A and B are shown apart, each in its own frame.
Chain A
Amino acid sequence: MENNFSAENSLRLITETIERSRRTMAKNSGKPMILWGVLVAVTSVIIYFLWSKTDNPIWNLLWFAMSAIGGVGTYMIGRNREKTPATEISRILGKIWMWFGFFATGFYVILWIVAAIRYTAGMDGILRVDMTMLILMMMGLCGAISGSVMNQKAVSISSVLATALSVIFLLLIPDGSPLQILTFLILGVFALIIPGLILQNKAKA
């Protein structure tokens, strides 16, 4: 039987094996997105509540705590899938979001350092950088690219829609209002939770 299959059968076997293997590997691939989506949505609501109550944006530091929790959660999900190998696609996705994390965190750190230098040097004026807008744009871009890499139009569309809704919301609210943080609630739901659920359902199908 071993060497009796035709060229067509060989090509079919290659295609089917790769597709079946990819489906297996895609199982639970939506879980990290759902985890991060819930974390982003919940953290944004908590920060909004605390910022509104205390009138102090210092609560934005909670994003760092959220990143730590998300990192541990992502590791735990990965550990439970340890027998499933990574695909080239999952490696690319990991790198896209690693660079997002690097830029987002690096941006926050640089901003705090510059603010501290300006304060120490007694420089006048307000440091005007719309961090929320920049993070939103980066997150939307990474989500849209991820959807394209996975060949999942729904994920790309959801990311673009989430970014558009968030940016419109951000432009409509008063400058400096704690409401701005709720844009991440929109982003968490539309750019992470919904695409994550779509991926989970496709993997189960």
Chain B
Amino acid sequence: MPENGKFFKPLDPLLHSELRLAVMSILLDAGSADFVYLKAETGATSGNLSVQLDKLQQAGYIEVTKGFKGKMPQTVCSITDKGRDAFASYVEALRSYISPDNR
């Protein structure tokens, strides 16, 4: 997209959202994390987090596994290779907006 004679890489709209980006950042570092941890770290409500996780799952960026830990239900989210690639592309695109030479 030309702007002032320079080109900016398009930003993945799925990642360009505060909550989804925060979730992906955590999963990128940890590999996987359970719902309770993600909720505590992002400060999101359960409903909103569920909706955003669903969007990331539908895009194939994360995998969601529902199970039990003892008698307690547990939802574990893991980042996929597609999610890692998408995140890397997103950061690369962000840099094109910041870098003076618009890589």
A residues with CB within 8 A of B? 1-3, 5-8, 10-11, 13-14, 17-18, 20-22, 24-25, 82-88
Q: Is the interface of B mostly helix, strand, loop or mixed?
A: helix
Complex Cα spacing A132 to B52, Å: 55
Give A1's nearest chain B residue, CB to CB.
Answer: B18
B26 touches A17 (CB 8 A): yes
A87 touches B34 (CB 8 A): no
User: Pick the contact of A21 from B17, B30, B91 — CB < 8 Å?
Assistant: B30
A3 touches B26 (CB 8 A): no
* B5-22 CB contacts (< 8 Å) to partner A: 11, 13, 16-19, 21-22
Complex Cα spacing A88 to B26, Å: 12
**Would you list 20 pairs from A and B whose C-beta atoms are within 8 A, ordered by A residue?**
A3-B13, A3-B16, A6-B97, A7-B94, A8-B98, A14-B25, A14-B91, A17-B21, A17-B25, A17-B26, A17-B41, A21-B25, A21-B26, A21-B41, A24-B37, A24-B40, A83-B37, A85-B37, A86-B31, A87-B29
Rank and list the top 6 A-B pairs by shortest CB-CB distance, nearest first. Answer: A7-B97, A85-B30, A17-B25, A85-B33, A7-B94, A17-B22
Quick one: given A8-B98, A84-B37, are A14 and B21 in contact (CB under 8 Å)? yes
Would you call B32 an interface residue if the criterion is a C-beta within 8 Å of the partner chain's C-beta atoms? yes
User: Pick the contact of A87 from B19, B30, B36, B40 — CB < 8 Å?
Assistant: B30
* B55-103 CB contacts (< 8 Å) to partner A: 69, 91, 94-95, 97-98
Of residues A1, A7, A8, A87, which shows the largest number of chain B Cβ atoms within 10 Å of its Cβ?
A: A7
A2 touches B97 (CB 8 A): no
Please give the distance in Å from B71's CB to the nearest CB on chain A: 14
Give A89's nearest chain B residue, CB to CB.
Answer: B29
A2 touches B98 (CB 8 A): no
- Residues from chain A with a CB closer than 8 A to the CB of B49 are none
Please give the distance in Å from B83's CB to the nearest CB on chain A: 14
Please give the distance in Å from A39's CB to the nearest CB on chain B: 28
B94 touches A88 (CB 8 A): no
- Residues from chain B with a CB closer than 8 A to the CB of A7 are 11, 94-95, 97-98
Give B21's nearest chain A residue, CB to CB.
Answer: A13
